[in-house]
Amino acid sequence: MTSNIVDFPQTSEVDQQFLELERQQDLINQQRASIMERTDTQLTPAQEAELKFLKQQVDMWQDKVHEKNAMPNAQNNLWVAREELTRYVSELRSWGKSI
């Protein structure tokens, strides 16, 4: 009767590494959430600095796009800068930060 029983498969080393990476990613997300979920809605100095930097990047590339001899990739860099700023602001707002 025991011949019908199939042994439970063992996880390989690659599977174990993948599971460990998933566990670490979950831990990182939990730590990130705990940092971002402060009771106040004010930006931290680091968040303010990053927001200021991203805004400066958008301003700089807008100026470069409208120069007489604009760089060939200026339009693409402006698009990237705007996308990064939009993503960052959306992320901060999703955490309840007032911008």
* 98: pLDDT strictly greater than 90: no
Q: Per the domain annotation, does 39 fall within a domain?
A: yes
The pLDDT value recorded for residue 90 is 93
Q: Which domain holds residue 29?
A: 12-94
- Whether 5 is in a domain gets the answer no
Structural domain tally of the chain?
1
| Residue 1: inside a domain | no
Give the sign of the dihedral formed by CA 38, CA 41, CA 44, CA 49.
positive
Write out pLDDT tens, residues 48-93.
Answer: 999 999 999 999 999 999 988 888 899 999 999 999 999 999 999 8
Is 2 domain-assigned? no
Q: Give a yes or no: residue 3 inside a domain.
A: no
Q: Which residue do the tokens 């199939």 mark?
A: 6
Residue type, 7: D
CB 54 within 8 A of CB 88: yes
* pLDDT, tens digit, 9 for 90 and up, residues 8-39: 788 888 889 999 999 999 999 888 877 766 65
